[in-house]
A and B are shown apart, each in its own frame.
Chain A
Amino acid sequence: MSERVDILERRAGAVDIIAVKGRLDAGSSEKAEERINRVLDAGGRYLLINLCDLDYISSSGLRVLLAALKRLKKDGGALRIACAQPQILEVFTMAGFHRIFSLSPDEATALAGFPAGP
């Protein structure tokens, strides 16, 4: 199985930025989940997920995002999603995710939305 998802991590102040590129489906979301959990295990409390280059998301991908959100909420952190493409937003809307996630049009707006600031 070739790599269908590419994950890049960086930090801006207290915020961990994870860019997920490619496809987040049943075959690839485990990898994304591991990477996100690694950031959270390391004490990350403010997570910005950048979906600028995400082409596709399935219910497995939604589960990964939801698991991260639940974990952060429990620990008093925050998760924001930036830059989701129209086809991704459509899936979010279908699932009702637009009602539970903070969605921002771009990374800068999302960063500004964190309580601690970047």
Chain B
Amino acid sequence: MAFSEFGDLFFVLFQMICVILVAAYLITRTASFTRVLDGLVTWKSQAILILLFGALSIYGTESGITILGATANVRDLGPMVGGLACGPVVGLGAGLIGAAYRFSLAGFTAVPCSAATILAGLFGGLIFLLSGRKFVGIHGAVLFAIGMEAFHMGITLLLCRPFDQALTVVREVALPMIIANAIGVFIFALIIGNLITERQTKAERDAYLSELERKKAELRIAHDIQMSFLPERLPDVPGLDIAAFSLPAKEVGGDFYDAIPLSGQRIAFVIADVAGKGVPAALFMALSRTVLRANALIPRSARDAVREANALIAADAKSGMFVTLFYAVVDPVKKTLTYVNAGHNPPLLFRSGSERVLELKGTGIILGVMPDADYGEETLALEKNDLVLLYTDGVTEAIDSHEKQFGEQRLIETVTGCHDLPSREIVDRIRRAVADFSGDEPQFDDQTLMVLRVV
């Protein structure tokens, strides 16, 4: 072969590659193609793809260089890719179109060339089926193209007579055809591979975003449930100055406080912490609060109210849900406070004129774990300027940038020396102290506070 022929060959090959690139890009961007990639095979999309890959096959015939009546061409490319990427129907359909066109041109190799084109589509489709109705990948596709073209040469030698002429043709066109088809399939495979990855990434991103959206919505719902079960305002109780505050964390939820007016001017105060997060914890909080309210309103002792509430809550507690709760009934006439502490962090009692701080310690097990649990109760006499601080562990567990905890000692120090301030002011001081302490550290748990001051 002379140098100019090599040059021609290279130029034609280059031209072909350009056309294949454009065709590959356009075909893979059609809705029909992406639908087939998604496994949604319809007759309409298959028909469109058959026409597109068939047209590519015709182009492959037309763009070739004729050598001794046989053409070095990429006719098999369209059917091969159609079969590999879209299955046997598309492969075979495109193959038939390409073959029909080739057959109409007649010539010495018309029969083997037409047959090879049909088989190229069929084999491509079989590989698609063998790969589990998926595109086989770049390596597989290119190997198939090489093998297919070698096979094409083989049947030419087998079917064309005289053999000597067939051998001359094959010798001339075998290498350029194998290379051209391999390059063409490689280009397609590359673009299809990219498209598949791109679509996977997009699908994963979409799934991630919708999951994120769902989580956000869940947190919002949990937050709304929780907030809607906190009292809008605290009742006015003669002889008591009351203030409360609750700051839900982003994810961990379930703190609540309550003030329930009882008969004879008495009032029940509640602070509680549901262990758990999200909507389940918020619903458990709503359940606990409602059950406790209902039981508080029946005339009975504080311990009986808590015992009954526990029996009902334990019957509903699933998967380790529980609630720590401090329940206190204040009688402003008798000036007493009767409390039940069901595993809640001990509230602090600051006595007027005393440096000592008393802890109102546990009198029973957390609610929700033992249906038949019994609870004790304690009664204290209240004096003017006594202060009871109820809080949840989110307050004392707030951490600073060194992961040190705010702790009970800091809480006591914040309140000591300012018991005679209004409750609201004391709550604000604690809030500020905790916020200053934790700085930019994220809040892991709800922070809830309640201050009762005897005036």
- Chain A residues near B (Cβ < 8 Å): 1-2, 4, 25-27, 58-60, 62-64, 66-71, 93-97, 99-100
Contacts and interface: CB of A to CB of B under 8 A. Distances in A.
B135 to A, nearest CB: 36
A62 B370 CA distance: 15
A2 B321 CA distance: 27
A63 B442 CA distance: 21
B273 A63 contact: no
B91 interface: no
Interface string B426-455: 000000000000000010110000000000
Contacts of B354: none
A94 B322 contact: no
A111 B37 CA distance: 57
Interface string B269-289: 000010110000000000000
A100 B370 CA distance: 8
Given A26-B445, A67-B319, A94 B397 contact: no
Interface stretch (B16-24, B329-337, B357-365): B357-365
B366 interface: yes
A67 B394 CA distance: 21
B422 interface: no
A96 B252 contact: no
Contacts of B362: 93-96
Nearest to B319: A67
Contacts of B445: 25-26, 58, 60
A99 B370 contact: yes
A97 B366 CA distance: 8
A26 B365 contact: no
A66 B393 contact: no
Nearest to B365: A96
Interface in B340-379: 342-343, 345-346, 361-362, 364-366, 369-370, 373
B403 interface: yes
The 5 A-B pairs at the shortest CB distance, nearest first, are namely A96-B365, A67-B320, A63-B275, A95-B343, A26-B445
Contact of B370 (A27, A68, A96): A96
B370 A26 contact: no
B249 interface: yes
7 contacts: A2-B403, A25-B397, A27-B444, A60-B445, A62-B322, A71-B319, A100-B370
A71 B366 CA distance: 18
Contacts of A70: 319-320
A33 B222 CA distance: 21
A4 B320 contact: no
Contact of A26 (B361, B364, B394, B403): B394
Contacts of A71: 319-320
Contact of B373 (A59, A93, A96): A96
A95 B249 contact: no
B226 interface: no
B112 to A, nearest CB: 61
B32 interface: no
By CB atoms of chain A within 10 A, which of B322, B345, B445 has the most? B322
Contact of B249 (A2, A26, A59, A63): A26
B324 interface: yes
Nearest to B362: A94
Nearest to A95: B343
Contact of B252 (A60, A67, A97, A99): A60
A59 B275 contact: yes
Contacts of A64: 320
A92 B397 CA distance: 17
Contacts of A99: 365, 370, 373
Contacts of A63: 275-276, 320-322
